[in-house]
Amino acid sequence: MIAMENRQTPVLYIVIPCYNEQEVLPLTAPQFLKKITDLAAAGKISSDSRVLFVNDGSKDRTWAIIHELAASDPHYVGICQSRNRGHQNAVLAGLMEAKDRCDITISIDCDGQDDINAMDGMVDAYRDGCDVVYGVRSKRDTDTFFKRFTAESFYKLLNAMGAEVVFNHADYRLMSARVLQEFARFKEVNLFLRGMVPLVGFKSTCVTYERHERLAGESHYPLSKMLSLAFDGITSLSIKPIRFITGFGVLVALISFIGVLWAVVEAALGMTVSGWASMTSIICFVSGVQLICLGVIGEYIGKIYMETKRRPRYIISETTPNFTRSKEEDA
């Protein structure tokens, strides 16, 4: 824990998860370095600030490039995960490693899609007293219509489910050291950072920016991964789907009860109760619905199962020579 907060010239760590980014890293790394140099020259952050790369078990030259960068300038530092664990875990690894060395972190992707210049506004907001500053995409012209539509539906659904998620904010955000210290106490293994950070509280604000095209390389988030992140997000943050199932069950039971009454009355009046086809389709429909409901409940049981194991959320296998780990993290 840093002894005293330094709100006017904070030490900034830019935390950048990287997975197979050998094409894009040489293009964006100098931009991150320039940003901390410029901010330090303007007296807004300390010159002890760093660009911290988290290599998420890349299979290409990414880690070698991070080593070269660290050798070229001491402001570049890097840690390497022992294997690929996904974007959320990579960001967490960087934040947890940075939290005892700095006053603020800014997490950002390494592909140049998020406007680096929004960091100026984030740092200003911190200097004015905010502890969390969310980067919010003002427009998403560079994303396809499909990505925009699915993303918008996702945020709406999350909020409808009672999760507090900032609209159009991904994981580009500033967090102060004291927020990180509190955040470290959130021990869940199923990570959905953008839904967890608002739960920490403290004063927060938003800074808007325009989202660009990826500078090089390819997105690691195809539709299947996006859907799984969305499903994970909802089930990690809310138990409303289970409540919905209960409500739906009550409704179906009521309708069936009315149906049974109707059949009994018809039979009592001596009218033939016909309708084999409708009966079969109702049985099939209800069985299908039951299986879906079981699946949703199973998802929560799976989450409980994973949480009870308390496995580490990240494992660092290596660091660049200019970055020594202070202690083994119990994350």
Can you give the binding site for ligand UDP, defined by CB under 6 A? 17-19, 21, 56, 84, 86-87, 90, 109-111, 113, 219-221
Intra-chain end-to-end CA distance of the chain, in Å: 16
Structure token digits, residue 18: 């990287």
Instruction: Indicate which of Mg ion, ligand UDP, none lies near residue 110 (CB less than 5 to 8 Å, by partner kind).
Output: ligand UDP
- The residue from 111, 131, 171, 329 that contacts Mg ion (CB under 5 A) is 111
Is residue 204 close enough to count as binding Mg ion by CB under 5 A?
no
CA dihedral sign, ordered 76, 181, 168, 124: negative
Closest Cα partner for 136 from 147, 121, 150, 123? Answer: 121
Measured from the CB of residue 141, what is the shortest distance to Mg ion in angstroms?
15
Contact 13, 96 (CB under 8 A): no
Which candidate, 109, 58, 102, places its Cα nearest to that of 80? Answer: 58
Are the CB atoms for 13 and 123 separated by under 8 Å?
no
CB of 85 to ligand UDP, least distance (A): 7
Q: In the stretch 154-173, what mask flags binding to Mg ion with x, by CB under 5 A?
A: --------------------
Min. distance of Cβ 80 from ligand UDP in angstroms? 12
Which of Mg ion, ligand UDP, none binds 103 (CB below 5-8 Å, type-dependent)? none
Structure tokens belonging to residue 146: 């499909």
Q: Of 111 and 131, which CB lies nearer to ligand UDP in the complex structure?
A: 111
Give CA–CA dist 75/13, Å, rounded: 10
Least distance in angstroms from the C-beta of 106 to ligand UDP: 13
In whole angstroms, the minimum distance from the beta carbon of 89 to ligand UDP comes to 8
Assess 97 for contact with Mg ion (CB under 5 A). no
Report, in Å, the least distance between residue 250 CB and ligand UDP.
39
Minimum Å gap between C-beta 111 and Mg ion is 4
Contact predicate 54/318, CB 8 Å: no
Sheet of strand 316-319: strand arrangement = 204-209, 132-137, 169-176, 104-107, 12-18, 50-55, 76-81, 316-319
131 binds, among Mg ion, ligand UDP, none (CB under 5 to 8 A by kind): none
Q: Which does 221 bind (CB under 5 to 8 A by kind): ligand UDP, Mg ion, none?
A: ligand UDP
Whichever of 109 and 329 has its CB closer to Mg ion, that residue is 109
Of 146 and 276, which has the nearer Cβ to ligand UDP?
A: 146
Which one of ligand UDP, Mg ion, none interacts with residue 320, CB within 5 to 8 A by kind? none
CB of 16 to ligand UDP, least distance (A): 7
CA 287 to chain centre: 34
Q: Is the CB of 113 or the CB of 236 nearer to ligand UDP?
A: 113
Query: Which H or E run contains 222?
Result: none
329 binds Mg ion (CB under 5 A): no
DSSP letter (8 states) at residue 188: -
Q: Which of 49, 81, 105, 113 binds Mg ion (CB under 5 A)?
A: 113
Selection from ligand UDP, Mg ion, none that 94 binds (CB < 5 to 8 A by kind) is none
CA 252, distance to chain mean position in Å, is 36
* Cα–Cα distance list, 95 to 42, 100, 187 (Å): 25, 9, 14
* DSSP of 20-47: S-TTTHHHHHHHHHHHHHHHHHTTSS-T
Q: Facing residues of 318 across strands?
A: 80
The residues of the shown chain that bind Mg ion, judged by CB under 5 A, are 109, 111, 113
